[in-house]
Amino acid sequence: MSNSSPKTASLTGWRTDASALGARIRRLIWLARAALTTERLLPALWPAVGFAGAYLTLALLGLLVLIPWPLQALLLAATITATGLALETGLTGLSLPDWQDGARRVERDSGLRHRPISESHDRLIGSDPFSVALWRLHQARMMPAGHLKAAWPHLDLAGRDRLNLRYFLLLAFAVALVVARGDWQQRLVRAFDSGAGLNQGIDAWVDPPAYTGVPPVYLARGDASAIAVPAGSMLNVRVHGGDHAPGLSLGGGLRPPFRGAQSEYAATARVTRDAQVRVRASGHVIGKWNLRVIADAPPAIRFSTKPVATEHQATQFSFHASDDYGVTSAQVVIRPHGRGGKPLTVPLPLSQASAKSLDQTTFTDLTMHPYAGLMVDAVLVARDGAGQIGRSAPMTFRLPALVFTDPLARALIEQRQNLATGGPEERRLVATALDAFTIAPDKFYAGKNALYLSLRAAYWGLRSARSDSDIEHVEALLWQIAVAIDHGAMLAAAEELRRLKALLDAALAAHAPQEVIDALLQKYNAAMQRYMQALANDPSAQKGQQMQSGQEATTVTEDDIQKLLQTIQQLSASGNREMAAQMLAMLQSMLENMHMAQASGGGGSGGSPADKARNQAMQKLGDMMGQQRALLDKTMRQRQGNGDPKDGGPQGLAKQQGALSKQLNDFLNGMDPKLKEQLGKAGKAMDNAGKALGQKDFDNAGDEEKTALDELRRGADALAEQQRAKGQQPGGQQDPLGRTGNSNGSGVKLPGASEMARARAILQELRKRAGERGRPQQELDYIDRLLREF
């Protein structure tokens, strides 16, 4: 049986809800304090907010840009001053509400007259249990939980703004936001800035290193994409219109300075890593770009085949080299295998300047070096435009050497090798051997005073040697003595031939004038004649005439070689210098492996009269194609209103077309019926073009001229096919080795006469147009670039 009374039950319920009620009261007091803060603060901010709002409204409406900056700056200063004074006046004496203020606000809003919340901290004196329970029951009855609330703030702005200007300002600000739309941020920024930075012009570009061949990269304003540039590029920035120097940042603490004066400033910086470029002027970022640097990889080079000796003991180096921007030079470094001695560095001429990838074969005569005949280790070294170096794996082989049949010559070469690869002890032994070679001069050197004196000079030169250059002098002297004993003029002729070939390679790669190429080819031809004469007189060359590596020997006459030289000259003149360089390399390879036959039979392979007639026909057909192409170009210019008065207008072009048609008809007399039918279509198209030109119908005339040109080209191809069917290449351009496909397995395809004629016609037309300086500059620049390629 429970003995609890109703009063006790009420007290227990109040204890249960006390914690929830306390949390609610604390939340209401916080809201009440916020309302009181609003009621005290907002009226104090007026009219400061009005001054600032009016200025911002003018900025959003775009009215501030209509007044000069000095006046705008004065207005801005006045607004800031007025706003500051108003804030000082309004906020003076302002105090924020505390807990007691919040509690009283809740009691007033809830209608609690006896202050049960603000007086909740009162304590009962005494500890009688009944009195304590009675006190708590009293507190519970004084604080009805269902009636507690915190009212919204009551703003009394009328006292501070009796004219209700705040409503007009709010309406104007809303209208200004609508007017500004997406430009509101820029307008607000310009409200506090003169805009000098935004009005400054900026040009920025990146100049890649010259060796890369990459064109300059223009940096467009506002380009946010990652811009790839080669490593080592130069960043160029030009700023126009500023009254003071801007700032440049590349990230990572790099801040290259701007230099200049009178509103023109410039800055340059080398870009070696990824950079975030930022250009600032008057507090504004007027240019920003993200540059991504492409690293320059070192070149790669390797041996294509193991170095081998030619028929005349020159060393053949075949290699493949590549680089992302082009290989600028190559060389081979040779060291004796397992022996001492200084490295031998041999430059390898490149047929193409700064080629990204090349396969090349070069011939170098190293027989005069002391390492000739020894086992050596060779390493290829390639260099790119940035100076980076790439090396190949070492290749071990025996360096080719001349075969000396005279015992004394062989002994001198052996002592020369010992001298080049040995130390001081070896030098002493070599000196002893040289001294022994000159024993009993009256018996062994009778009538050979020059030889004896040379040997004694070598001996005393070695005895008195004090430096490496002295030793090299003795080595050179021993070589000259050995060659004088055993060989004639063939070595000098071969070396001269290789030197001229290197000069020709360099001239072709550097796009030298054709006059220079022709002069070098004449010298090369003369040196080749001396070489072949020396080869015919050299007994050692005749002894090796059957050494063909198991292949059937091929007879090459002087006429064949002259034809090949003529083809090289024609290819160079027509602009195809890369193929000319390949054919020159093929000719040099053939000469390096040539030996003279003991018996010569027959004459040259000049060709039959029928072959010569076909060659002349192909030449005439190529000339007509060039004339038709020139007429087509004149027609196009006439249609554009840029015709040359010398052409005589449409009637003059019609006469030229008629003359070309008559020339074609005369050419077709006696031709093969099938070829005559093919080229007859070209003649018909020429007649139609002439009629259209007479009627000033340039559109149809141009179409007919294109048709005529296409039919001429098909006829040239048909004529070339007939010649190939008869075992002859177009235009008589046969391989001097008697083959009609690729030569020497090198992939060099000989062009036909029609192709060469077409190339010559194009080159002549380009040179003609380049001399007509009245053409648009853009066209002249394009023609100059094409001529540089040719």
- Cβ–Cβ < 8 Å for 399, 376: yes
Residue 578 phi, psi dihedral angles, 5° rounding:
-65, -45
- Cβ–Cβ < 8 Å for 394, 378: yes
Mean pLDDT score, 172-201: 79
Mean pLDDT score, 702-715: 84
Looking at per-residue confidence, does 271 or 24 come out higher? Answer: 271
Residue 180 has pLDDT above 60, yes or no: yes
- The confidence score (pLDDT) of residue 69 equals 72
Mean pLDDT score, 663-671: 81
Q: pLDDT for 423-482, tens place per residue?
A: 888 888 988 888 888 888 888 887 788 888 888 898 898 888 888 888 889 888 888 888
pLDDT above 70 coverage of the chain, percent: 78
CA 712 to CA 622: how far, in whole Å? 9
Cα-based distances in Å from 209 to 214, 272, 387, 728:
8, 12, 12, 48
- The confidence score (pLDDT) of residue 351 equals 79
- The confidence score (pLDDT) of residue 195 equals 60
Q: pLDDT for 382-391, tens place per residue?
A: 999 888 999 9
Q: pLDDT for 136-152, tens place per residue?
A: 776 666 665 556 777 78
- The confidence score (pLDDT) of residue 731 equals 41
Expressed in angstroms, the distance from the first to the final Cα of the chain is: 122
Q: On the CB side of 722, how many CA atoms lie within 13 Å of its CA?
A: 16
The angle formed by the CA atoms of residues 161, 167 and 171, to the nearest 5 degrees, is 150
Looking at per-residue confidence, does 785 or 320 come out higher? Answer: 320
Q: Which among 67, 147, 155, 82 has a CA at the least distance from the CA of 114?
A: 147
- The confidence score (pLDDT) of residue 340 equals 85
Mean pLDDT score, 268-296: 86
CA 83 to CA 405: how far, in whole Å? 112
Q: What is the pTM of this model?
A: 0.47
- The confidence score (pLDDT) of residue 740 equals 41
CA 438 to CA 639: how far, in whole Å? 90
Residue 561 phi, psi dihedral angles, 5° rounding:
-65, -40
Q: pLDDT for 758-768, tens place per residue?
A: 666 676 677 66
Give SS3 for 217: strand
* Weakest-pLDDT range from 289-298, 457-466, 752-761: 752-761
Q: Which among 118, 104, 107, 102 has a CA at the least distance from the CA of 147?
A: 107
Rounded to the nearest angstrom, the gap between the alpha carbon of residue 410 and the centroid of all alpha carbons in its chain is: 54
Q: Mean pLDDT of all residues in the chain?
A: 78
- The confidence score (pLDDT) of residue 565 equals 83
Mean pLDDT score, 723-730: 52
pLDDT grade, residue 207 (50/70/90)? very high
Mean pLDDT score, 658-680: 81
- The confidence score (pLDDT) of residue 302 equals 94
Residue 330 has pLDDT above 90, yes or no: yes
Mean pLDDT score, 21-37: 80
3-state secondary structure 226-263: EEEEECCEEEEEEEECCCCCCEEECECCECCCCEEECC
- The confidence score (pLDDT) of residue 545 equals 38
Residue 46 has pLDDT above 90, yes or no: no
Helix axis angle for 6-45 and 129-142, nearest 10°, is: 50
- Cβ–Cβ < 8 Å for 285, 299: no
Rg (CA), the chain: 49
Looking at per-residue confidence, does 155 or 298 come out higher? Answer: 298
Residue 425 CB neighbours (<10 A): 8
Cα-based distances in Å from 684 to 92, 259, 624, 652, 674:
105, 69, 15, 19, 16
- The confidence score (pLDDT) of residue 603 equals 38
pLDDT grade, residue 609 (50/70/90)? low
* Weakest-pLDDT range from 299-313, 514-528, 531-545, 556-570: 531-545
Residue 537 CB neighbours (<10 A): 13
pLDDT grade, residue 497 (50/70/90)? confident
CA 325 to CA 229: how far, in whole Å? 13
- The confidence score (pLDDT) of residue 15 equals 43
Looking at residue 731, what DSSP letter applies? G
Residue 677 has pLDDT above 70, yes or no: yes
Q: pLDDT for 105-129, tens place per residue?
A: 877 877 776 677 766 666 667 677 8
Residue 717 has pLDDT above 90, yes or no: no
pLDDT above 90 coverage of the chain, percent: 12
Mean pLDDT score, 312-328: 89
- Residue by residue, DSSP assigns 364-428 as E--TTSTTTTSEEEEEEEEEETT--EEEPPPEEEEPP-----SHHHHHHHHHHHHHHH--HHHHH
Residue 542 has pLDDT above 60, yes or no: no
**Helices H / strands E in the chain, number of each:** 23, 17
* Weakest-pLDDT range from 226-230, 596-600, 626-630, 716-720: 596-600
Residue 251 phi, psi dihedral angles, 5° rounding:
80, 160
> Per mean pLDDT, which of 59-73, 79-93, 402-416 is the most reliable?
79-93
Q: Which among 95, 57, 90, 328 has a CA at the least distance from the CA of 209?
A: 328
- The confidence score (pLDDT) of residue 605 equals 40
- The confidence score (pLDDT) of residue 299 equals 93
CA 461 to CA 431: how far, in whole Å? 9
- The confidence score (pLDDT) of residue 320 equals 93
